[in-house]
Structure 1
């Protein structure tokens, strides 16, 4: 599948991987994330204004050891809880929403590997992560109104190959391998696999064509596969993990909730000093400082409560996800999916509210282009479109009222 005439291949490659430190425990992972976030936020506005892809920041992020925290202890990793992974994502997202989203699909791919990989695949791919490799993703496709995957794993006389095109491939510009969702024909039926394709495999072409107004630095463009040769040990079964109950879906979703919560936290952190030091009170308030305006105080209080509630739901949902990961069955997975849907609903609304109030309470001066404060709204609005919150509410209601289990979506 060749490039279109108007497209240009993205040729910048990440540095070769280097072994990363194994972070000892959950508390240490959170501490490392906080330290990194302090360095990321200093240049976040400039990166967004210039659309400077964060290669150096992603490299520091990886070399901190945080991209290896979900490698199970049995394979040499930290094996942190789901809530800890989510909080790491939220902490980084508060500093830079794009940086918080980039590793989401890396962690998703590792969860697919944990559920569907052979023992040999687990040993090999977990070792690659501990050696510093990053995984991107090639899951979604556009151009059709249905949800049928058209990227294929096929066979000819020379072996297996992947043919197709993917979009919204978050993180792939920075990745060493690109886990790719494909369909194959096996024994007369269509089955799905996740193929861990090296980015430098013959026939792989990356295109930097993501042009959304938010999350601009996530590297979420296209990946084209033109008869890419595939080794059998790159192919991790996926259909079986969806046919039986697994925590793949709720684990992926709790990380999305964390991104929205984190961006909201970042917006709130910007709101406080801006209102204290720069905003003007409305004339009807009869006060000299914006910080004494009673309606401003009410708005600040509401944002704080919404963010804290979303944070509490994220931690609560993490316990359900861990229970489903440890003992997956129809009940534990459904309960985890619904708990995460509740967290996503709360983080969706809290993130949007915080970003909106930053601009509303800051006033016209908050729209100064050089401040780039609009990036919080643009980022959270873009990310909250990932999948519709209205369907979260539908399945929450169906579960609690009628005992209906939500569908299992491993890639969402």
Structure 2
């Protein structure tokens, strides 16, 4: 979780600071020098303690701290697990039953709606949702203010929140690629039209997001509901993320075991560009590309070499989910050493899944695919505009995926599953033979 100036400004508002005064604060200047009273600064510390589990603020920070200083204090003092414990405790303490049978409106989230959205995340996931931001209402407001998240809510006549859905910047390094998801409806309103109306409004909102180039969704494969939505909204099947969601993440919804997700994309603002692909995966890639209509100069290669000596690589580990997501915008000649270290780290940490997104805008993808295969990675999908240029997804799994438990709606998705299951069997056979 980022403890940036935007988040701290939301907590200053909660502490009673006037909005006009908060809006003009300079991050590097002491709050006291900008007119923030000692009482407000003390209230800020109390809010951070209750909401995030922050320790008592040092006297010097209370006296002379800037927004940047408070951010550094929180980064040093907190981790996501501690924040989640405090945030969940606050949600539980404030919970009360929703009034049944009330009329609702679908609207953009207002700051006062955010606690109700966080409560819904806890209602559905307990404490098992892997991203802590959504349990912290102030962070949710900050993300919405800068269009990192666009949250819709179903607001009851009483003002409480019975449903939510969103577009949000998630894993893609390209900030113009938004994920659609987080569709949550309170159990008391499951028989209403809330889910349908939120999805309809999300589709309409997406058409007005001129700053977005593409949208994607991860449809859980324990049921077909979200896959049906993807079809209605003209999203194309692009990948299958095996065993992505951890055991227990959907236990309140009746699911068990690790859950796979179907990856869908809709590209609204494409641009012509080259796409370098491995010949070994031509059949599955042609299948995916035939459903997308992208403007690409496609170049398949059985063997190639990256031009750069060094690989660009960044990763994020979702500890609870036991998933590491690795971004490789540029493949270098040292890619084999990078993958060796990645695989060793995954085994040492007991990860269940490693996902590697490879930039496919330059040569080197065939070279990288062969290296990944040698380490047990299989094909996962194609992600348009993921880095600005397209990406290929490869995935490593600690345990065999439950292929029989994957429910798919369309023939296109079932064909993709066939390709990926065949790749799994092929790589397993290869490693048995080499072993």
- TM-score, normalised via structure 1 length: 0.25
Structure holding more strand per residue: 2
Which of the two has greater helix per residue?
1
> Which has the higher Rg, Structure 1 or Structure 2?
2
